Amino acid sequence: MKKSICLYFQVHQPTRLRLYRFFDIGKDSHYYDDFQNRTILRRIANKCYLPMNEMLLEQIKKHDGKLNIAFSISGSAIEQFDRYAPEVLDSFRALAQTGCVEFLCETYNHSLSALGNEEEFVNQVRKHKATIEKYFGVTPKTFRNTELIYSDHIGELVHKLGFRTMLTEGARHIMGWRSPNYVYNNPVKTGLKLLLRNYTLSDDIAFRFSDRGWNQWPLTAEKYHQWLRDAEGELVNLFMDYETFGEHQSADCGIFDFMKALTDQVVADKTLEFVTPSKAVKHKSVGEISVAEPISWADEERDLSAWLGNELQQDAFKKLYSIQEKLDVADDPALWADYGHLQESDHLYYMCTKFFSDGEVHQRFNPYGTPYEAFINYMNVLSDFMIRVDNAVAEK
């Protein structure tokens, strides 16, 4: 059997909050920075989504179905595409029509609901599934939780929702001596197959590609192709943010040419093949992976500390999910929509106070000057939102 290469891209754009002052609470309930959201979305569409989708479509047609890839596009991103760049949705639809692209299911708002409220988690997963069906005409078969967050319990929830394949991180502290380059399964729901990210090979592209201080720079398609051939195991899972291409790694560093040449070489290699996640599980599970505490693909720790590592984040998280029951009573579509956007994991990520090994990465993706500014702004918005929820409940 050929060694399988599973290439998966995460597509997400947060709904950024405007500067929301204490004196706005109770007076102005528009929370979003529409100008910044549109400006950033259009920029990334032109630098990443449109040119990369065009290149992948050409490569899929060129290789007559032998190039297979997967995307998970958050509902928050789809809403912004619909509003600011509908041509991006058209380009994803063109990819869907090839039959070579799998669209994965996740939480609609790229949220931490799997950790905060199971009822909300189920609601968001079902909403996202329906959205993928509506926009791309396909039903998701594979699940990818926000930031690859996974535990045995989350796996159980996902299995109950009907999914039999799930993506997560091949974190060193859960793998031990084992390799991520095989299929594993959940120890409780053995029918749930797990695909584990090879973070070394994934990050060679996502983070190190243009780093001239890296001892493997420059990374050529020939070199990387050989690394894939030499990797032990049956399956190499390359999972990364789609914004890697053209945004995080600029076009002038050669990232597009690299991917085009790499896909050419892998397709031509009779020992390798591209597969989607739902087809990757043709490889039999080699055993169970037990994950008692949640893991993620973020930072060196591969845990939840990027979002829940300090008291600011924990306070915001607890307050956010404390109002679920009141929202059920109010049952107001406008409130549910805002609640979804306030759950986007990015808001908590901006409050991270890591300043050591991963501080640079956190700073790069943070629109706030400090984590404390992010916390204050978010809590001002949340305070107004809670007032609205209380008023809606009182009117019932």
Rounded CA separation 124/326 (Å): 17
Those residues with Cβ within 8 angstroms of residue 97's Cβ, 6 or more apart along the chain or in another chain: none
Asked, as a colleague might, if the bond just before 371 is cis with ω within 30 of 0, I would say no
* Cβ neighbours around 188 below 10 Å, total: 13
- 3-class DSSP state for residue 144? strand
Task: Give the DSSP per-residue string, 215-278.
Answer: TT-S--HHHHHHHHHHS-SSEEEEEEEGGGBTTTB-GGGTHHHHHHHHHHHHHH-TTEEEE-HH
Both tokens of residue 188?
Answer: 């409780």
Q: Active-site positions? A: 147
99, 67 contact by CB (below 8 A): no
Strand ranges across the sheet with 165-169: 142-144, 165-169, 193-197, 183-185, 285-288
Rounded CA separation 363/361 (Å): 5
Counting DSSP H helices and E strands in the chain, the numbers are: 19, 10
| HSE value, Cβ hemisphere, 13 Å, CA-based, for 372 | 0
- 3-class DSSP state for residue 172? helix
Amino acid of residue 393: V
Amino acid of residue 241: D
Nearest to 202 by CA among 175, 229, 226, 169: 169
Rounded CA separation 386/384 (Å): 5
Question: Can you say whether residue 112 is alpha, beta or left, with left for phi > 0 and alpha for psi between -120 and 50 degrees?
Answer: alpha
User: Phi then psi for 278, rounded to 5 degrees?
Assistant: -65, -25
Cα-trace Rg, the chain: 21
Rounded CA separation 360/106 (Å): 27
Those residues with Cβ within 8 angstroms of residue 245's Cβ, 6 or more apart along the chain or in another chain: 48, 51, 52, 255, 256, 259
Q: Which residues pair with 169 in a beta bridge?
A: 197
